[in-house]
Amino acid sequence: MNSFEIHIPTRIYFGKEKADAFFDRLHDYGTNVLIVIGGGSVKKLGYLDEVTVALEKRGMEITLFEGIEPNPHAQTIDKAATIGKENNVDFVLAFGGGSVMDASKAIAGLIHDNEKEIWPFVLGEPKHKTMQGALPVITIPTTAATASEVTPHAVISNPDVKGKSPVSYPFFKPSASWLNPAYHTSIPLETTRDGASDILSHVFENYLLGGNDSPPADRYSEGIMQTVLKTLPLVEKDPTNEALRGQLLWSSTMALNAMQVAGRKLYGFIMHNLEHALSGYNPELAHGRGLAIIYPAYFKWLMENNRAADRLALLGEKLFGINIQNQDEAASEFITQFEHWLRENGLYQRLSDVDIPETAFDEIAAYAINVYGGGYPLDAAGPMNKSDIIEVFKKTEDQV
């Protein structure tokens, strides 16, 4: 086991019955709240009314900001922060998916520091790592995907420069999060699939590269992956089943709360580096969709570069019961079976299917190296150069 430090300050409430406990707690953070929502789903579905009533019942003053985009735009975040400042809010309540939660963290930081623009604070920009604090962030996640309800990360997009980059601080970790599966029965099929893909990626990343030092992290991660592989097809058939939705939701929180890597060697989140560069180039591309496209190609690239074959083979045994003695053959069989699962669940595509042409691969790979590698190769348990990234992108074109 390698050394580690974990701090999860978020008070988590799970389930409908925890509504009162959650809303009663909010007085700890103030009485003047900025609610941040996305394109309006939570309004149309009536969820926002429920939350507003619960807050008003507790004497809260409410300012609403509506209009955070999927892959949240820096410029929209800046506008929301200005409104929060003008209304002198005490804390920020994010009510939406990962995009809304990430935007809310950035808004909370800008208000606290009395700053106007978030983009200069993201990785690769001049004010990176200089933010001093944030207002308390509270979340009600409406997707099962990012785990932003417990993470210190906010991933920000900037269409003006075709950029997408994280800004992360311990003080971005939400103070409290209410996970209510009842708000998940309306998630559209494609968004449900994209979310499941994202959950898997959060455990895949370090499972593949981090080695064998932490059997507890391995068994924990396999449990999450087994749950997602089994549950997504069930949710597709029965989308309003709250018990199934709850299983995906809790899997998503568990998949990126740091337990999934604890005790392993730490390496970069390579698929995330590549995907963020892709959805920075095309802000219409959902994060989980981009990851699903990269999976098979990246796994094959790892094999060809003599990396992680033992871990891919282990996944084959644990997730699909593959029993093949030869390690490389077992690893290849895992990739084949996982490709089949992706295909069965509408997640097997090519980059050209999501409007990312081969002519853009060079520019996107260069962005990944410059921003996520600081100009150096990415650390994929060994170097991953620009040409390697382009090779992975090209391999996705075989996925038909």
Q: What would the DSSP string read from start to end of 319-357?
A: HH----SSHHHHHHHHHHHHHHHHHHTT----GGGGT--
CB of 62 to ligand NZQ, least distance (A): 18
- Cβ proximity to Zn ion: between 48 and 292 the closer is 292
* Contact set for Zn ion, span 197-216 (CB under 5 A): 198
Exactly one of 155, 203, 322, 331 binds ligand NZQ (CB under 6 A); that residue is 155
Dihedral (Cα; 30, 35, 36, 37), 10-degree rounding = 150
Q: Specify whether the backbone of 308 is left (phi greater than 0), alpha (psi in -120 to 50) or beta.
A: left
Contact range with ligand NZQ by CB under 6 A, out of 90-98, 109-117, 318-326, 372-380? 90-98
Beta strands in 143-223 (DSSP E): 153-158, 163-168, 176-179
Q: Report the candidate in 140, 120, 141, 139 with the shortest Cα–Cα distance to residue 131.
A: 120
- Cβ proximity to ligand NZQ: between 96 and 373 the closer is 96
- Cβ proximity to Zn ion: between 198 and 388 the closer is 198
What is the total count of residues that contact Zn ion (CB under 5 A)? 1
Q: Specify whether the backbone of 147 is left (phi greater than 0), alpha (psi in -120 to 50) or beta.
A: left
Contact range with ligand NZQ by CB under 6 A, out of 13-21, 140-148, 217-225, 336-344? 140-148
- Cβ proximity to ligand NZQ: between 271 and 380 the closer is 271
Exactly one of 38, 84, 268, 280 binds ligand NZQ (CB under 6 A); that residue is 38
Q: State phi, psi for 221 to the nearest 5 degrees.
A: -65, -45
- Cβ proximity to Zn ion: between 136 and 296 the closer is 296
Strand partners, 178: 13
Q: Report the candidate in 197, 180, 177 with the shortest Cα–Cα distance to residue 189.
A: 197
**Is 187 near ligand NZQ (CB under 6 A)?**
yes
Q: Are 311 and 380 in contact (CB under 8 A)?
A: no
Which of ligand NZQ, Zn ion, none does residue 373 bind (CB under 5 to 8 Å by kind)?
none
Q: Report the candidate in 170, 155, 169, 148 with the shortest Cα–Cα distance to residue 77.
A: 155
- Cβ proximity to ligand NZQ: between 97 and 136 the closer is 97
Contact range with ligand NZQ by CB under 6 A, out of 2-10, 75-83, 183-191, 308-316? 183-191
Q: Are 315 and 207 in contact (CB under 8 A)?
A: yes
Residues that bind ligand NZQ (CB under 6 A): 38-42, 70-71, 96-100, 102, 142-143, 145-148, 151, 153-155, 183-184, 186-188, 191, 194-195, 198, 272, 287-288
Chain residues binding Zn ion by CB under 5 A are 198
